[in-house]
Amino acid sequence: MKSFAPLLSVALFACAPSMPSGDTGVNANDSGTSANDSASSDSASSGADSGSTSGSDASASGVRPLGDFRDGIATYYDATGAGNCSFPASPGDLLVAAMNTPEWNNSAVCGSCAEVMGPNGSVTVRIVDRCPECAAGHLDLSQQAFARIAPIAAGRVNTRWRFVSCDVRGAISLHWKDGTNPYWAAIQVRDHRLAVSAVAIRASSGGMFRALSRESYNYFIGTNLGPGPFDVRITAQDGQEITESNVPLGDNRLVMGTQQFR
Q: Residue 56: what pLDDT?
A: 54
In this prediction, residues 1-25 reach a mean pLDDT of 37
Q: Which of helix, strand or coil describes residue 152? A: helix
Query: Partners of 98 in the beta sheet?
Result: 129, 140
The dihedral through the CA atoms of 70, 73, 79, 84 has a sign that is negative
Contacts by residues 248-251 (CB-CB < 8 Å, ≥ 24 positions apart): 248/42, 249/176, 249/180, 249/181, 249/182, 249/185, 249/225, 250/40, 250/42, 250/176, 250/180, 251/176, 251/178, 251/179, 251/180, 251/181
What torsion, rounded to 10 degrees, do the Cα atoms 87, 90, 93, 95 define?
50
Q: Residue 16: what pLDDT?
A: 38
What is the percent of the chain with per-residue pLDDT over 90, rounded to a whole number?
Answer: 75
Q: Residue 129: what pLDDT?
A: 98
Question: pLDDT confidence of 28, banded at 50, 70, 90?
Answer: very low
138-149 pLDDT per residue, tens = 999 999 999 999
Q: Residue 10: what pLDDT?
A: 31
**Please, are residues 120 and 151 in contact by the beta-carbon 8 Å criterion?**
yes
pLDDT over 80 at 45, yes or no: no
Q: Residue 8: what pLDDT?
A: 30
Instruction: For residues 178 and 170, give the distance between their C-alpha atoms in angstroms, rounded to a whole number.
Output: 25
pLDDT over 50 at 93, yes or no: yes
**Cis amide prior to 229 (ω within 30 degrees):** yes
**Please, are residues 179 and 22 in contact by the beta-carbon 8 Å criterion?**
yes
- Going from the C-alpha of 129 to that of each of 81, 107, 139, 217, the distances in angstroms are 8, 9, 10, 9
pLDDT over 80 at 33, yes or no: no
Q: Residue 43: what pLDDT?
A: 67
pLDDT over 80 at 210, yes or no: yes
**Please, are residues 116 and 161 in contact by the beta-carbon 8 Å criterion?**
yes
In this prediction, residues 30-55 reach a mean pLDDT of 46
Task: Give the CA diameter of the chain.
Answer: 63
How far is CA 70 from its chain centroid? Answer: 22
User: What is the average pLDDT value for the chain, to the nearest integer?
Assistant: 84
Give all strands of the β-sheet with 196-203 in edge-to-edge order.
45-47, 241-247, 230-236, 196-203, 210-211
Spell out the domains of the chain, with CATH numbers in brackets. 40-59+169-260 (2.60.40.760), 62-164 (2.40.40.10)
In this prediction, residues 119-125 reach a mean pLDDT of 97
Q: Residue 69: what pLDDT?
A: 97
pLDDT over 90 at 222, yes or no: yes
**Please, are residues 221 and 213 in contact by the beta-carbon 8 Å criterion?**
yes
